[in-house]
Structure 1
């Protein structure tokens, strides 16, 4: 069916369109994996190493397909795991008229959740009489918690059960036993009642959409053949991140049984990490399948860095370093380990900053992306220093980077946008964050418009306001936000921004007066307060560490490893953190070269897999250590090593910087 839709003569054009030059997909030495991947249009899984350009490859294929796709009823379905990946695909497709056509009927480009919502769950719920107002887990759980009787909330609190126990897994609003509360208990029954009432009001959690989608397919299996006729060709990006619920449902829709769609998945099994310890990967339709096309060449970093990190891959794979890209006028730097103790832990970021100043020219510092990440970024009650990012920077705000959560205030929407766009100069995210915050505030004020749409928040607000006075206020508000790059002081907030915000929210919600919840949501961000003993070079609102404090020359974005997944950095500092044990200390055998991969040979010569916790630790830090193009740094406790081990590290090419002694000594 897809014969000749991509021809070899199309490849130079597609490569040039992606900014790679006409030879961008040409074979390198004997490696033709990228060219072959470009030409394939059968069902296959692309196992793509970090920096292999899999999203670029996917968009290049789509660009060629768009030129030759003539059917007006059948389309291409492109599914991504996150909104960020969806936006990247859409942005690159918009470079050509043919590419833009793929974002319209009969094609679909969006997240897995948005696909399930649009084609299955939402139509099914509406056919059952539900008015779907909002699909947002935090909002739905908050409303369900409020619907519970006080004695039920008390019982759940005593049982150490959080709001997440209010998520259901069955279409009758039931689930497995909730803690110690079985179906026969009043507490369980009160929970089911709150789940049902909230759903009937139109509020749902994200993953509950899969329940309703499956119910539709159970009762109307003909919907599967309808979707396959509509989408004979399916692409799935970041497939290693798909949950069991996602993978099982997509497999049911596109692959199970007769006349399956042609499906291509892109991912890296060594980068399968999840936002929650309760999440796990697919078991029904595991990535990769038997038909695997390896893509082992990284265009992000050079071979030296590849050699340092490839041993952390749970599944041993070739990793060929063919970078870094030449946009930055700088050579790769020696991988570096910063050693610290309890007294010097808060000096690590400053020493890292100075190391960047010593190794990069001013132009590179101004245009590069510099980060510091930790596997754990929320402090707990224990004193295992360092447990999390907060031990390095006490004022660090984990809510700013928690992508799976909804911001709790207008200021947090802007702070998260500033964090995600640090150093990029991209204003789109600030504009959409402003619009999303206005929609959230109008929801609190009692609006009934809902937030289910494929359109961006900005486009939705523009359409809802038209050209009335509130529309003028919205444009004035955007001017304030962009003028201050989202970093609005309290005086400016109160004198220039708030009046416009309130006008827009009243128009969106139809509320004459704004209630207390809305007023709290619109409270200005409080001025930064210095944590005792902490340097003054931390911007608490957006988690940027600036250095030197009084005349910044480098800005370092702080976050969790999860928050930077899929990104490319100029330099990345991976910080020691603690979960059951200190992560990097546990990875010492891999750093020292005595272990490699996710298994080992015991004394009897039998291969034994590492435990699940160690395998997850390896994947997490493999993701972190494969972000940089030019410089990889680690920060570890000095007492993790003896002198012989430090000598081994130096022999293996690591530079050692001791933060326990003053700089320059």
Structure 2
């Protein structure tokens, strides 16, 4: 059915389509991994190193398949872990007419959540008489919290439980993280009632949809064979990030039992990182599985950087540096470590900026992408310097950089869009961020518009407004946002607010806007000044400009999670604190004394470094494999003795002491 759909003569065409030239997937010496990966259509897991071009490979395969696909009612299912990955796949598919076909019936290209919602959870809930108004964890939890009696909210706060205790794990609305409140307590019963009421009103958290999808399969097991017939070929991108709920459901749908679909998964087990320490990956359908196709060649960086970072991989893998791409016309630079103390921690970003100016010419600074990231980016306590990114840049806003969680205010939607479009000149994200913020505000105001449309936020709002008077408000608001590139001062925001309120009232049907909406529409705060009244270069959109008085470059600040999958010209990895300082704990790996996630004990046995260290290694392996040309670290000076600094120098690191003026 599939074995002749990709032929060797198609490979050169697909490589050229992806901008790689006709030899882009050709063998390199004895390495035929990319060519064979293009040709394979059996069930297999591609273990792809950072920069191996796995998404490019996936899209190239899809372009060929779209050109040769013979079925009108059966399609290809392409599942991504995040919206960002979905958007990247869709954008690359749009480069060819054949690729565009995959974005339409009978195919599916989208996130796992979107697939589960569209084909399983939403139809099932509607068949039970539930009108699904919104699938958004933040909005659903706000609804549930408001449904709790005041004394129960007080009891939960006293027990240090947040709104997340209102997420349920069973279809009877039970389970979840409720602390010491068991089923016999009035508080637990109030929690369950709030969960039930909000769900019956149509408000759900993202992961709860997997519960309803599984209930459909329990009640109607024939759904499995129907979906396997509809999607005989399934691709899963970033498979290492799938949760147990996601992996188990996909395995149930496409792999378990008779007549499975053919499934190909793409990922890197060494880059399996999660949003919080409490999150865990799959346990029943692990990636990679039994059939593995390794892709060890990185086209992002050269062998020198590969040698510096490959030891951090928990599972030892070959890492062959075949980059960087010759886009900037400059050579890779020696990796650097910035040393600081309590008094100089806020000077690290400026020293990094100066180092970039000294390392790259003006053309490279104009074209390049420069970032600074930390494993912990929400400050919390103001101790254990550096605990988080906020110790380096006090004005840093963690919500702006958090990809998958919803911003908590209108201005945060705009700030995130500015952050994501830094230097690109693309207005699409600003337009859609404005529309998404209006939809979120209307939900808070009690809007009842249905959920599940594949339209962009802008198209949804435009359709819902129609020819109403509020349409003029919407167009005027978008003009204000675009004129100021999303950077609205408090004065400009107040001028825009009347347009915002007009649109929100129309979308929600509310005559007046309540307290939650007013909080969501709060004006932006004026930029804070550093000590002495001078701007320190960091702004509310998490862009650090340097020099601050005459900027020559912009450095994006964010969490390591926020830049996963990205490619940068230079990346500064900032030390942060979780049970200990991350990079200080990784010092044996930096010094070459350890490699991988296992070590040999005195009895000669292989022992694991432990779950916490594995998480730390994977997190910083992701961070250190982002750059093409320059990798930098920032660590406390007192983490080292002189001999260790000499060892680092001998291993090729440049040491820059920020404690010396």
TM-score class normalised by the smaller sequence:
over 0.9
Match of 1:523 in 2: 522
**Matched position secondary structure for 1:425:** coil
**C-alpha displacement at 1:425, in angstroms?**
2.1
Aligned counterparts of 1:518 and 1:384: Cα–Cα separation in 2: 37
Match of 2:192 in 1: 192
**Are 1:623 and 2:622 matched, yes or no?**
yes
1:31 aligns with 2:31: yes
2:97 corresponding residue in structure 1: 97
Q: Tell me the SS of whatever aligns to 2:558.
A: strand
Structure 1 counterpart of 2:323: 323
2:235–2:263 Cα contact (<8 Å) kept: yes
Measured after TM superposition, the shift of residue 416 of structure 1 is 0.7
- What is the match of residue 71 of structure 1? 71
How do 1:79-90 residues align onto structure 2 when only pairs under 5 Å count?
79-90=79-90
Displacement after TM superposition at 1:224 (Å): 0.3
Worse-matched range after superposition: 330-339 or 151-160: 151-160
Q: Counterpart in 2 of 1:60?
A: 60
Deviates more, 1:92-101 or 1:38-47: 92-101
Aligned-partner Cα distance in 1 for 2:385–2:199? 44
**Alpha-carbon shift at residue 534 of structure 1 (Å):** 8.2
- SS of 2:648's equivalent in the other structure is helix
Residue matched to 2:112: 112
- Compute the RMSD of aligned alpha carbons: 1.4
Relative distance call for 1:177 and 1:324 in structure 2 (3 A) is closer
Q: Which residue of 2 aligns with 1:386?
A: 386
2:259 maps to 1:259: yes
Mapped partners of 1:654, 1:177: distance in 2: 45
- TM-score normalised by L of structure 2: 0.98
**1:537 match:** 536
Alignment length, in residue pairs?
Answer: 661
Determine the structure 1 residue equivalent to 2:654: 655
Partner of residue 645, structure 2: 646
Contact 1:537/1:548 (8 A) holds in 2: no
Q: Does 1:431 align with 2:431?
A: yes
SS of equivalent residue, structure 2 residue 191? helix
* Cα distance, 1:514–1:402 mapped onto 2, change above 3 Å: same
The 1-side partners of 2:203 and 2:24 are apart by: 47
Partner of 1:165: 165
Report the Cα distance in structure 2 between the residues aligned to 1:13 and 1:533, rounded to whole angstroms.
Answer: 60
Deviation at 1:602, TM superposition (A): 1.2
Asked whether the equivalents of residues 166 and 176 of structure 2 are also in contact (C-alpha less than 8 Å), the reply is no
Change (3 A) 1:554 1:278: same
Asked whether the 8 Å contact 1:177–1:183 carries over to 2, the reply is no
- Show the 5 A alignment for 1:551-590: 551-590=550-589
TM-score, normalised on structure 1? 0.97
Cα distance in 1, alignment partners of residues 445 and 193 from structure 2: 25
Q: Residue 521 of structure 1: CA displacement?
A: 2.3
Q: Residue 509 of structure 1: CA displacement?
A: 2.1
Counterpart in the other structure of 1:226: 226
Bigger shift: 147-156 or 512-521?
512-521
> Aligned residue for 1:5?
5
Correspondences of 1:488-503 after superposition (within 5 Å): 488-495=488-495, 497-503=496-502
Q: Give a deviation string over 1:411-435, Cα, whole Å, max 9, x none.
A: 1100011111212222221111011
Please say if residues 395 and 538 of structure 1, whose CA atoms lie closer than 8 Å, have aligned partners that are also in contact.
Answer: no
SS where residue 505 of structure 2 aligns?
A: helix
Task: After TM superposition, give the deviation of residue 42 of structure 1 in Å.
Answer: 0.4
- What is the CA distance between 1:554 and its match in structure 2? 1.1
SS at match of 2:436: helix
Within 1, Cα distance between the matches of 2:231 and 2:464? 32
In the alignment, which residue of structure 1 is the partner of 2:396? 396
- Distance in 2 of aligned mates of 1:413 and 1:609: 42
Q: State which drifts further: 601-610 or 46-55.
A: 601-610
Moved more, 234-243 or 183-192: 183-192
Which 4+ residue blocks in structure 1 deviate beyond 4 angstroms? none
Q: For 1:211-269, what per-residue CA distance to the aligned partner results, in whole angstroms no more than 9, with x for missing partners? A: 00111101100000000000000000000000000000000000000000000000000
Q: Give me the whole-angstrom Cα distance separating, in 1, the residues matched to 2:26 and 2:485.
A: 41
Are the equivalent residues in 2 in contact too, given 1:393–1:534 (CA < 8 A)? no
Post-superposition offset of 1:529: 2.0
Mark the CA change 1:546 to 1:592 in structure 2 (over 3 Å): closer, same or farther: same
Structure 2 residues without counterparts, runs of 5 or longer: none
**In 2, distance between residues paired with 1:639 and 1:152?**
48
Tell me the CA shift for residue 444 of structure 1: 2.3
Q: Which runs of 5+ in 1 are unaligned?
A: none
- Deviation per CA, 1:97-154, whole angstroms, max 9, x where unpaired? 2111101111000000000001111111111111100011111111111111122112
Alignment of 1:240-259 (within 5 A): 240-259=240-259
CA distance in 1, matches of 2:190, 2:533: 47
Q: Deviations over 1:276-334 (max 9, x none)?
A: 11110101100000100000000110110000000000000000011111122211011
How many Å apart are 1:589 and its aligned residue? 0.7
Could you say which residue in structure 2 is the equivalent of 1:597? 596
- Distance across 1 between alignment mates of 2:338 and 2:543: 20
Q: Is the 8 A contact 2:393 2:538 kept in 1?
A: no
2-structure distance, mates of 1:283, 1:177 = 20
Equivalent position of 1:476 in the other structure: 476
Q: In structure 2, what is the equivalent of residue 611 of structure 1? A: 610
